[in-house]
Amino acid sequence: MTLGLHIAAILLHAASVTLLIYWAIALGRMIATTRQQPTASAGVQLKLPDPAPAIGIVIPAHNEAAVIAKLIDSLRKQTYPTFRVILVLDRCTDNTESVATAAIAGDLRFEILINSICPEGWAGKVNAVWHGLQNAHDPIARSAPLLIFADADTVFAPDCLHATAALLLDRQLDLLSLLSTLTHDRWFERLAQPAAMIETITQYPILRASRATQRRAFANGQFMMFRRDAYDAIGGHAAVRDELLEDLALARLIAAADRPAAVFLADGMLSCRMYASWSEFIRGWKRIYTELALRSPRRLGRCAARVLAFGTLLPIAALANIALGTWFIASGSAWGIASLFFGIAGLTPLMIVLSWVYRLGRAPLWAVPAYLLGAALVAALLLRAARDLRAGRPIEWGGRKYIRPIARIE
């Protein structure tokens, strides 16, 4: 064997070991998370107090005619005894109102509010939610001790309200948020979406987001349940009026007030199609990652490098190690066994983690090998978000454009 092949083999061994260490740590964290944090479906088995506290649900909707009927239908099927829904149709230019009215079919638990303006200094979604809370007419909605803020593209399982309210009360939480079970029937949902979600929970691990102390505050705006007194104490949505990731901002206010919070995998209790097209996927995740990184281009760049290294380049190196080992064995070289061992060892925890995550998220297991390409796409998206932030390009969201300043930490 030549010196060049010796050097290549050593480098591939090192890459495989590095991959092994990284994903073995990730696997350990997954095991700890599943042992310590149930999924939302566990709440179905918990009993509610009698009477169960009323829930007020506020859902902003901007041009959501394509999805809002499914949401309304799912809410009408809830097993929970007392709840009211406030639909805030925010600056809609489509037929969301007529679709929503038809889907409600006179159900008195639902109220539609029309919001036609967004004041300067407010993000559109945040203003719509606040408008709904301030202008609801139903007395139960106005006084309900539990509040839920959800997105119009979500679908609730029939026991969702029961499960989440029971978990919140059982664990004495002030904020409970769900990571939705996402759809996976479009190419980018199978290819890039799992990598995007893995990167999100890598930055904001579920257990760290659910700690009593030293919390890495996080919430998902697709579903947030608050105790009303806690929500009012932190100032509600008015306190985060200009935030483009209001869920994260509210979670940080809850943490700053030393109020208990937790994040749970929805496990089918809440499903969502985040984006209907690849272009929407790019715009949406750029906004999310920009705010998760606290508007820091450097942080976005570091995340991109990590995702590319451990999601694409090192796995390719481990595969190359296996291929080299196979060639060595065919050539009669004793190095073949070592190359095969290190290559397989490096890929094993990665494949276990990915298979586990895909199963929990109800993504197709056959798409697991495509994660290597998905991670590369997410890394490119992170870099694009960093470039747009440095260039001062506006973020498009909910019918408005926002120019976000670079964080001071830059």
pLDDT tier at 402 (50, 70, 90 boundaries)?
confident
Kindly state the average pLDDT of the residues 48-60: 97
Same domain, 139 and 258: yes
| Phi/psi-derived region of residue 41, left when phi > 0, alpha when psi is between -120 and 50, beta in every other case | alpha
Identify whether the C-beta of residue 227 lies closer than 8 Å to the C-beta of residue 146.
yes
Kindly state the average pLDDT of the residues 179-183: 96
Residue 291 lies in a domain: no
Same domain, 224 and 332: no
Tally: H helices and E strands in the chain:
16, 12
Across the chain, mean pLDDT equals 95
The amino acid at residue 119 is P
What's the CA gap between 122 and 243, in Å, rounded? 8
* Closest to 320 (Cα-Cα) out of 346, 302, 295: 346
DSSP symbol at 370: G
Same domain, 71 and 145: yes
What's the CA gap between 192 and 374, in Å, rounded? 4
Backbone angles phi, psi at 56, to 5 degrees: -105, 125
Identify whether the C-beta of residue 125 lies closer than 8 Å to the C-beta of residue 151.
no
pLDDT at 410: 47
Residue 216 lies in a domain: yes
Q: Taking the alpha carbons of 274, 248, 201, 58 in that order, is the dihedral positive or negative?
A: negative
Tokens coding 175: 């904020």
What's the CA gap between 326 and 129, in Å, rounded? 59
pLDDT at 130: 97
Residue 37 lies in a domain: no
CA-to-CA separations, 351 to 189, 198, 267, in angstroms, rounded: 19, 13, 21
Distance of CA 85 to the CA centre of its chain: 23
- Last residue in a domain, options 214, 244, 274: 274
pLDDT at 185: 93
Same domain, 137 and 117: yes
Same domain, 166 and 75: yes
Q: How many CB atoms lie within 10 A of CB 145?
A: 12
Same domain, 236 and 166: yes
Same domain, 13 and 62: no
Taking 90 as the threshold, does the pLDDT of residue 353 lie above it?
yes
pLDDT at 328: 85
Same domain, 66 and 211: yes
Residue 132 lies in a domain: yes
Same domain, 332 and 238: no
- Last residue in a domain, options 222, 243, 274: 274
Residue 231 lies in a domain: yes
| Phi/psi-derived region of residue 105, left when phi > 0, alpha when psi is between -120 and 50, beta in every other case | left
Share of the chain above pLDDT 70, in %: 99
Kind and range of the H or E run holding 34 = helix 3-36
Identify whether the C-beta of residue 386 lies closer than 8 Å to the C-beta of residue 300.
yes
Same domain, 202 and 305: no
pLDDT tier at 408 (50, 70, 90 boundaries)?
low
Residue 107 lies in a domain: yes
CA angle 342, 343, 347 (to 5 degrees): 115
SS3 state at 217: coil
Same domain, 148 and 236: yes
Q: Taking the alpha carbons of 207, 208, 211, 216 in that order, is the dihedral positive or negative?
A: negative
Which residue range forms the structural domain that includes residue 86? 42-274
- CATH code (residue 217): 3.90.550.10
Taking 70 as the threshold, does the pLDDT of residue 1 lie above it?
no
How many domains does the structure of the chain reveal?
Answer: 2
Q: Give the full edge-to-edge strand order of the sheet including 270-272.
A: 154-156, 270-272, 181-182
Residue 72 lies in a domain: yes
Residue 238 lies in a domain: yes
The amino acid at residue 66 is A
* Closest to 316 (Cα-Cα) out of 364, 363, 375: 375
Tokens coding 18: 């590095």
Backbone angles phi, psi at 76, to 5 degrees: -65, -20
* Closest to 225 (Cα-Cα) out of 271, 175, 154, 173: 175
Q: What is the torsion angle, in degrees rounded to the nearest 10, for the CA atoms of residue 70, residue 76, residue 232 and residue 274?
A: -10
The residue whose two tokens read 């007020």 is: 56
Same domain, 110 and 217: yes
Task: Name which of 89-103, 130-144, 388-402 the model is least confident about.
Answer: 388-402
